[in-house]
Chains A and B, each alone.
Chain A
Amino acid sequence: MSDPAAQDPSRPNPFRTNPTSRDRSTHDLVEDLARSLTPVRRLAGPGRRTLVWSGAVLTVGLLLVPMSDVSGLRARLGVPDLHWAALGAILTALAAALAAFQSSVPGRSPAWSLLPLPPLVLWLGASGLGCLRGWLAPAANLAEPEEMRGCFVFLMGVSLPLSVLLVLMLRRACPLRPNLTAALGGLAAAAAAAALLVPFHPHDATATDLLVHLVAVLLVVGLNGLFGGRLLDGTAGPRSRPGEAGL
């Protein structure tokens, strides 16, 4: 109250326009930031960016069509639980990608992160039903260990480029929770890879099959959370001023 500088109300706010020495660096920072300002192109909304990424997934799917087993696919999609599992994987991929893009924009509701849960339950639940069927009808077409390895390699091989693309797109925004955003991105990539695997899957779902898928998905989500989180962390937490490295 006794600071004479703080008593002049001719400025808009007497307590913030007369900086003390402690505020000096903040004022310098504001000046630095204003001086280094350049026009920016506004980032497209999360929905639109999800569509762009889904377009990339679709392109990968179309490139793989010549190698797929289309006649077998028609027969397999006739089985209700495989049908639902494929739908669940597609919806999980879309929902997780949308949640990742939403979480990369400050101020969006954290509840978006829960969006992939219902389709994830559908995906895992339908796959689990497939396992039950395997136990009830042991004569069903079971997978060989060799095929399991193929599935695993396919899931990892397709997830990787999709994850990289998603992380690159997410880096353009400002994820305040980088690990969560990267993990959601990993789930989206893994679910998309699992959806793309459906036309190549030569056998019905079994417990081992589900386990292989689950391990692959968890691995992709974990790797994304670990490495993608670090990649995204640098985008939201700059510790340097304009003119120094990082901006």
Chain B
Amino acid sequence: MAVRATALSGEVSLSAAMQAAQAGDAAAYRDLLRDCVPVISAMARARGVQGAALDDVVQDTLLTVHRARATYDPARPFLPWLRAIAQRRAIDALRRKGRRPQEVHDPLAYEARADPGPLPGDDAERRARATVLAAAVAHLPDGQREAIEHIALRELSLEEASTLTGRTKGALKVNFHRGLKALRVSLSSRKEDTDV
């Protein structure tokens, strides 16, 4: 319920910022675009865009948002409008990548070309890493765990995390630092164990 309320207030503030941008408020527009960058990035990643192409999609989307800002209707939510643009730009990027010619007539170049796809063990390794991280986070004390989950993993702002957990921003900052330190210790000791 609290998460939903935060998402709703985020949606309302984005919509208000876009409305201000339509009226020519450059500061609100700058903040809005900055807030949009991680959202666009996540949307593009969800579509399968990776690596340097991700930056291209973010920038193409920002340019399209700028070009299309007159089409935004403040009576409607902002995120579906942004998502439509980001998804279209992500699809464009994937198509561009698919069309890029690859050398097949030169045997050496063909053989030496690195396969951009994931290696067979990548998925298992990623899952193993996620499991290890989740276990390490779960072992943290409650306050630190909450701070890490909300600020680092879910990328919430301090204000949002504070509203959600009922803790002060100062407490969250302290817990965040302590949590990171504890994680660094637990993960590096685990790594040393596995390296031997």
Q: Please list the residues of chain A having a beta carbon within 8 angstroms of any beta carbon in chain B.
A: 1-2, 7, 9-10, 12-17, 22-23, 25-26, 29-31, 33-43, 45, 104-108, 172-174, 176-177, 235-242, 247
Q: Which residue of B lies closest to A234 (CB)?
A: B67
List A contacts of B183 (CB < 8 A).
1
Any A CB within 8 A of the CB of B71: yes
- From residue B49, how far is it (CB to closest CB) to chain A in Å? 14
Please classify the interface of chain B as helix (H, G, I), strand (E, B), loop, or mixed, using the class held by over half of its residues: helix
In whole angstroms, how far apart are the Cα atoms of A31 and B67 in the complex? 15
Q: Which residue of B lies closest to A105 (CB)?
A: B71
The number of residue pairs between A and B whose CB atoms lie closer than 8 Å in the complex comes to 136
Q: Please list the residues of chain B having a beta carbon within 8 angstroms of any beta carbon in chain A.
A: 21-27, 29-30, 33-34, 37-38, 55, 58-60, 62-64, 66-74, 76, 80-85, 88, 92, 151-152, 155-159, 172-173, 176-177, 180, 183-184, 187
Are A43 and B152 also in contact (CB < 8 A) when A15-B38, A30-B33, A37-B24 are?
A: no
Are A241 and B63 also in contact (CB < 8 A) when A13-B38, A30-B37, A106-B81 are?
A: yes
List B contacts of A25 (CB < 8 A).
55, 59
B22 contacts A42, C-beta separation under 8 Å: yes
B152 contacts A15, C-beta separation under 8 Å: yes
B34 contacts A16, C-beta separation under 8 Å: yes
- From residue B77, how far is it (CB to closest CB) to chain A in Å? 8
Are A34 and B184 also in contact (CB < 8 A) when A176-B84, A237-B60, A241-B63 are?
A: no
In whole angstroms, how far apart are the Cα atoms of A28 and B71 in the complex? 24
In whole angstroms, how far apart are the Cα atoms of A72 and B53 in the complex? 63
